[in-house]
Amino acid sequence: MRNEARTASVEAGRSVESTMNYLGPMQETPFVDVQNRGRDRLSLESHRIRLTDARPIAESLSLDREGFRLLRHRTSLSRDDFQDRDNVERVYLREMADVVKAETGADRVVSALGPVLRFSGDRKNAVKPAAIAHSDYSEYTLRTQMGFQLDLSAPEFADYRRIVAYQTWRVLSPPPQDNTLALCDSRTVTVDDRVLSKFDVLEPRSATLEFYMHRFNPAHRWYYFSDLTSDELIIFKGFEGDGPQCQNVLHGGFNLPARPDAIPRESIETRTFAFFN
């Protein structure tokens, strides 16, 4: 697997260097408060990483191999429409459920409530890019978040044998951006790299949930897609179990090399629950 990942890197496009924050040594459980980052309990280590532009190999990427893909998809919403929460939940979440269903062949897809808009610029009360190497789910978090919206004990869910959380990510600001999404080839990440961590959320209801922070591993192979537009969509596997063979994509925001014409990043991310018979 690791040799395959290295081959893919050679066939991909140009690379850039940047930094990514990994989890450093700490005795207590890492903790993040999404609404009040001043309450975070994290020991972070900044590591220099090389990220390869995956555009040249975009057509060959697989959700079941690397764990992520780039799609052409035009949303019916304008950039300004994304400032209207009702618009996003009424229109965009339905669009994302349809995309994930078509891309994965799932029998049923439900979009999670609470899509996240992020801004890298100086906007008051804005949610900033998550500049940490992490994955967003554990088995407990998946079941809890689905339970916020669905009655999983209902007969209609009895026949589903596989449940996967897929995440989508779309940039809303035009290229070139100052910051974008980094994705790590899932074949280069092991369960020994990750540390079970906690985070507090308020939406769709108040809860303390779990996610995984990751320790630095030089075997990690990082990718990005250069000069993304709003007519493109990244889809990646957020969670399919806690086992060593599961591909839960490690990701995080990172700063691109400085350009005088760079635009502050504005993006939206969603999560979906995909059910397979």
In a domain, 60, yes or no: no
Question: For 86-102, how does the pLDDT look when each residue is reduced to its tens digit (9 = 90+)?
Answer: 989 999 999 999 999 99
3-class DSSP string for 14-43: CEEEEEEEEECCCCCCCEEECCCHHHCECC
Residue 136 pLDDT more than 70? Answer: yes
Q: Rounded to an integer, what distance in angstroms lies between the CA atom of residue 209 and that of residue 141?
A: 6
In a domain, 28, yes or no: yes
In a domain, 62, yes or no: no
- Percent pLDDT > 70 in the chain is 93
Residue 58, both tokens: 């975009």
Residue 137, both tokens: 């789910």
Question: For 1-58, how does the pLDDT look when each residue is reduced to its tens digit (9 = 90+)?
Answer: 444 444 344 456 699 999 999 999 999 999 998 778 788 999 999 999 999 999 999 9
In a domain, 198, yes or no: yes
Q: Rounded to an integer, what distance in angstroms lies between the CA atom of residue 102 and that of residue 106?
A: 8
Overall number of domains in the chain:
1
Question: For 98-120, how does the pLDDT look when each residue is reduced to its tens digit (9 = 90+)?
Answer: 999 999 999 999 999 888 888 77
Residue 119, both tokens: 């801004």
In a domain, 258, yes or no: yes
* Alpha-carbon distances, residue 120 vs 100, 129, 210 (angstroms): 27, 6, 25
In a domain, 64, yes or no: no
pTM for the full model? 0.92
Contact criterion met (CB below 8 Å) for 103 and 95:
no
Range of the domain at 75: 2-55+69-276
Provide the 3-class DSSP secondary structure of residue 86. Answer: helix
In a domain, 29, yes or no: yes
Give the residue carrying structure tokens 């407990």: 140
